[in-house]
Structure 1
């Protein structure tokens, strides 16, 4: 599988985080592969600060506050990614959507949750990709389902991160 990740670094501090490595592992997990049939997957990522994410959150979601991560899915269908519909639009390539992630907020949360920065950001990337695939956490039931999927993917990713030749 080919993973095409376009990263726009607004906040240069993000350059120390290996987005390509983690996104590549994430998109190659069994769960994602079972939902996306194309051999090439792409998404775009805005690596920004609190300032930019607050503007995006206000502009697109009407929320005048800072958040950790935002996701804009390319396709949604009843809470589940619809690969058949997407494949018809872009031959041999599945564009999942756009993600914006705030360095400041992620750093603050990682410290608060007593996690490493990388581990916390991996969790947020999984969370964002699930949003791109149509999952949400509006209701308690949806939140529980999404959290179970996140945990399953994170366990798989952790196993792969510690293998050689990632």
Structure 2
């Protein structure tokens, strides 16, 4: 797995995002039956100001968010709740992820979680988006949350939706 990180905010280096991104991507891809070494992901480790601009430009939402993703190609399943078709190559680029430091830090504090655990969850979430998973339709959200929970469990992390949904 090649994770190329562009550090726009140096706080991400202090957090060790490279190791978190490597683990999140490797575990996600392996869980879904892909060989991690065959794929590339680019991560923009930025701040709220930068992600706010990206969110405005690409989603018409001029406010900061925690994570954004841009898959290299459309992979979403047509039927609600169906798994997307996994990429086969030869293009090894899965896409790009942007993650905002201040929003992640605030959310981690609000959720009572470590920054590392919360960021790991958001990186898994971003990788799943690159693979065509989404949460717009209820059935798709259920599928995506279940897969996130399984992947995070493999990394020894708690279900991030436990307190929200149950």
Q: TM-score range by the shorter chain?
A: 0.7 to 0.9
After TM superposition, the structure 1 = structure 2 runs for residues 75-90 of structure 1, keeping only pairs within 5 Å, are 75-79=73-77, 80-84=84-88, 87-88=89-90, 90=91
Q: Which runs of 4+ in 1 moved over 4 A?
A: none
Give 1:37 deviation, angstroms.
4.7
For structure 2, the residue ranges without an aligned partner over 5 or more in a row are 78-83, 158-166
2:123 corresponds to which residue?
Answer: 125
Equivalent of 1:62 in 60, 63, 75: 60
For structure 1, the residue ranges without an aligned partner over 5 or more in a row are 160-166
The number of residues matched between the two structures is: 150
1:32 corresponds to which residue?
Answer: 29
RMSD: 1.7
Please say if residues 49 and 104 of structure 1, whose CA atoms lie closer than 8 Å, have aligned partners that are also in contact: yes
Judge which range, 15-24 or 46-55, deviates more.
Answer: 15-24
Report the TM-score when normalising by structure 2: 0.83
Relative to structure 1, the CA distance from residue 134 to residue 42 in structure 2 (aligned partners, 3 Å threshold; closer, same or farther) is same
Equivalent of 2:39 in 27, 38, 41: 41
2:102 corresponds to which residue?
Answer: 104
